[in-house]
C-alpha cells in the first residue's frame, strides 16, 4: 500500500497543475483621454470588505477634480482592466484571479448605474468561449489591453485567437470577428 501511495504521489508530481499566480491587487486610477474624468478602484477582500469605485469629474472653475459618484462594483476583489470613457462610463474587464470566468465585462454609466453585463459565451459565443486557453483559475480569452475606439463609444478587445471584439457602450451591441491565430 505504501508503494502504491508513493507511486501515485510521484506520478502526480510529473504533471503540472497549470495554476495561476496572482499578486494582491492594488488601487487602480485611470483617467479618461480628455482628462475630464478619473476613476479610482479600490480592491475588496472576499467576504471581508467590498470593492469600491469612485468617479471624479474635473471642475474647471475650481481647477480640481470633485467626486461625482461612488458605488460598489460587482467585483468581489477588483477588475483586472478598467477603462474610462470620456463621458465617465466605466468598463471593467474580468475579476482579479479569475480572468474569463463569470461576468467578464461590465459597463457602468457615469452615475454608477450598471448598463451592461456579459459572460464570455455571450460575447464570443459558446464554441469560441470553450476554445479559449484555460488554466485552473482562469480562461485567457483576450490579448493585451482593451482600447476605446470610435470616438470613445466602443471598447475594442483583441481575443485569444487574434480576433476582434467590439462592444458599443451606448447600446450594448456586441460584434465579434473570430481570428485564426493565437496571442503573441
Q: What percent of the chain has pLDDT over 70?
A: 89
pTM (predicted TM-score): 0.86
Residue 83 burial (C-beta neighbours within 10 Å; 0-12, 13-18, 19+): buried
| Euclidean distance between CA atoms 90 and 102, whole angstroms | 18
Give residue-wise pLDDT tens across range 23-66.
Answer: 899 999 999 999 999 999 999 998 899 999 999 999 999 999 99
Cβ-in-10-Å burial (0-12, 13-18, 19+) of 17 comes to: exposed
- Domain range 26-177, CATH class: mainly beta
pLDDT at residue 3 is higher than 70: no
- Using alpha carbons only, how large is the chain's radius of gyration in Å? 19
Amino acid at each position: 500500500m505504501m508503494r502504491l501511495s508513493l507511486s501515485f504521489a510521484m506520478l502526480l508530481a510529473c504533471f503540472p497543475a497549470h495554476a495561476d499566480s496572482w499578486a494582491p491587487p492594488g488601487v487602480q486610477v485611470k483617467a479618461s483621454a480628455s482628462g475630464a474624468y478619473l476613476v479610482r478602484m479600490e480592491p475588496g477582500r472576499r467576504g471581508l470588505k467590498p470593492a469600491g469605485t469612485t468617479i471624479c469629474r474635473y471642475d474647471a472653475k475650481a481647477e480640481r477634480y470633485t467626486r461625482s459618484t461612488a458605488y460598489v462594483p460587482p467585483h468581489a476583489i477588483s477588475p483586472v482592466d478598467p477603462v474610462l470613457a470620456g463621458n465617465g462610463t466605466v468598463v471593467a474587464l474580468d475579476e482579479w484571479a479569475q480572468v474569463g470566468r463569470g461576468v467578464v465585462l461590465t459597463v457602468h454609466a457615469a452615475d454608477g448605474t450598471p448598463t451592461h453585463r456579459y459572460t464570455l459565451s455571450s460575447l464570443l459565443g459558446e464554441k469560441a468561449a470553450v476554445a479559449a486557453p484555460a488554466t485552473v483559475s482562469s480562461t485567457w480569452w483576450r490579448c493585451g489591453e482593451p482600447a476605446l475606439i470610435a470616438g470613445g463609444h466602443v471598447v475594442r478587445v483583441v481575443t485569444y485567437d487574434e480576433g476582434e471584439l467590439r462592444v458599443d457602450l451606448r447600446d450594448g451591441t456586441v460584434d465579434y470577428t473570430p481570428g485564426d491565430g493565437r496571442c503573441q
